[in-house]
Amino acid sequence: MSEEVQITIIGGGVIGCAVAYELSGKYNQNIAVIEKNNQINGENQSSRNSGVIHSGVYYPKNNGPFKAGLCVEGNEMLYRFCVRHNIPHKKTGKLIVATDSLEEEYLKDTHATAEDNGIPGIEMLDGSEIARFEPNIRAISALYVPTSGIVEPTSLVNKLFRLAESNGVMFLVGSEVVEIKPEVEGFEVKVKSKTGIESFKTAMLINAAGLYSDDIARLTNPESPYRMDPFKGEWGKFYKTGRKEISMNGFNVYPVPLGYLPDGEKLKLPFKEFQEKFSQGEINKSTGVHLSPTFEIKGNEYIIGDTVIVGPSYSEPVNREDYRQTREENYYLDMVRPFFPGLKLEDISLHQTGIRAKLKDHYDFVIERDPKYPDFINLVGIDSPGLTASLAIAKYVKELLEG
């Protein structure tokens, strides 16, 4: 590590790697990424997600302008990037389904948000039209969203890493940032690794530390207001070839986004009551437990296989390292039975867990210069749809740096 680094990025998940790639090559400066894991493979949020390329239908512009704008922009950028760099992906399309008249009210709200966010090609379907898309899905209406898809997330992280590295970015793995001292110009950064503690100076810092981004923000500026309130997502899975009642054509199929209590339990409130409680921060809103196709390796290639994931679950706030599985197969069955009645308990097995970098009392991504130390850029609370938005977030960071 040279004594003076121009730009230091803390965290080598999809966000840190996307920012490193965006800045590399365009700046003739030295850039370093400091990552506490021993390799760059998206070990935390960046691989433990649904791999869904979101379209931007969920995020109202008034309470989530970054999520709304960067998801839509990131969706297009990600498809272009995946085609150009041969990353396993597919524009599968998505159905958001309503199974009764109350859910239809929630669906209308999602439709309105989707229109407001300018999502192309969306269409309302009735029950018989849904069967043309996915014959085993039962619902009275659905919003069809053609720009939704899936990506193999680890391949995405790895490609961004390799491209940034070949453009000259230095990646320091097995290295945890433990102290940041703002100086008259720039920062002194202390890093702990197997060989001990080293320090170096950097002119500019970018905080892309995922679940620990609130801690990193406070290491630099103790007055930083952001607090992580992380919660767990767990998935089950089944094989769509198991029986004809559970065969699927390969769309992402989502319930309508409902309210969730802070302890993770799903609520089905009258829509007005839901809106009031959500706007007062009493309940959370989640995209819900959905069905999505996944990639698997066949020979040397990723292909979309027969496995369909069912998840992620919602939970009360958890410890950031607690990846234990707590949900059982019947949870997934209960969650999807209203719209996927052919599924049986014996079809389901448990899959993986992930932890979301959700912020307490703050819905949107935080992407800003620290008010006290403007050469410190915070990317805090980058939860879903952060994978989809990653390239757009990186572009926004570059624009922020350029003033």
Ligand X SMILES: Cc1cc2nc3c(=O)[nH]c(=O)nc-3n(C[C@H](O)[C@H](O)[C@H](O)COP(=O)(O)OP(=O)(O)OC[C@H]3O[C@@H](n4cnc5c(N)ncnc54)[C@H](O)[C@@H]3O)c2cc1C
Is 213 buried (19+), middle (13-18) or exposed (0-12) by CB count in 10 A? buried
Q: State yes or no: residue 230 binds ligand X (CB under 6 A).
A: no
Figure out which of the listed residues 93, 186, 210, 255 binds ligand X, where binding follows CB under 6 A: 210
Residue 315 CB, nearest distance to ligand X (Å)? 10
State which of positions 302-341 bind ligand X (CB under 6 A): 312
Give the residue closest to ligand X by C-beta.
386
Residue closer to ligand X (CB basis): 44 or 147: 44
Spatial separation of the C-alpha atoms in residues 368 and 376, rounded to whole Å: 9
Q: State yes or no: residue 8 binds ligand X (CB under 6 A).
A: no
As a whole number of Å, the end-to-end CA separation of the chain is 28
- Token reading at 1: 């590590």
- Distances from the Cα of 40 to the Cαs of 1, 121, 200, 255, 302, in angstroms? 18, 36, 21, 34, 19
Q: State yes or no: residue 356 binds ligand X (CB under 6 A).
A: yes
Residue 234 CB, nearest distance to ligand X (Å)? 8
How do strand 187-193 and strand 258-260 relate by DSSP bridges? unpaired
Residue closer to ligand X (CB basis): 110 or 141: 110
Size of the site for ligand X (CB under 6 A): 42
Among 34, 3, 17, 42, which residue's Cα sits nearest to residue 192? 34
Figure out which of the listed residues 24, 45, 220, 294 binds ligand X, where binding follows CB under 6 A: 45
Residues 6+ apart with CB under 8 A from 114: 55, 56, 57, 122, 143, 145
Residue closer to ligand X (CB basis): 43 or 306: 43
Spatial separation of the C-alpha atoms in residues 31 and 206, rounded to whole Å: 11
Q: State yes or no: residue 11 binds ligand X (CB under 6 A).
A: yes
Q: State yes or no: residue 13 binds ligand X (CB under 6 A).
A: yes
Spatial separation of the C-alpha atoms in residues 221 and 206, rounded to whole Å: 13
Spatial separation of the C-alpha atoms in residues 90 and 88, rounded to whole Å: 7
Q: State yes or no: residue 293 binds ligand X (CB under 6 A).
A: no
The interface region with ligand X, picked from 36-44, 112-120, 181-189, 265-273 by CB under 6 A, is 36-44
Q: State yes or no: residue 236 binds ligand X (CB under 6 A).
A: no
Contact string 150-179 vs ligand X (x = CB under 6 A): --------------------------xx--
Residue 225 CB, nearest distance to ligand X (Å)? 19
Spatial separation of the C-alpha atoms in residues 331 and 222, rounded to whole Å: 41
Strands (E), 127-175: 141-145, 149-151, 170-172
Residue 270 CB, nearest distance to ligand X (Å)? 28
Residue 245 CB, nearest distance to ligand X (Å)? 26
Q: State yes or no: residue 386 binds ligand X (CB under 6 A).
A: yes
- Token reading at 356: 């979301």
Query: Dihedral of CA 199/216/388/253: which sign?
Result: positive
Residue closer to ligand X (CB basis): 136 or 384: 384
Figure out which of the listed residues 209, 308, 318, 392 binds ligand X, where binding follows CB under 6 A: 209
Residues forming contacts to ligand X in the complex (CB under 6 A) are: 10-16, 34-37, 42-46, 48-52, 54, 176-177, 208-212, 216, 233, 312, 354-356, 382-388
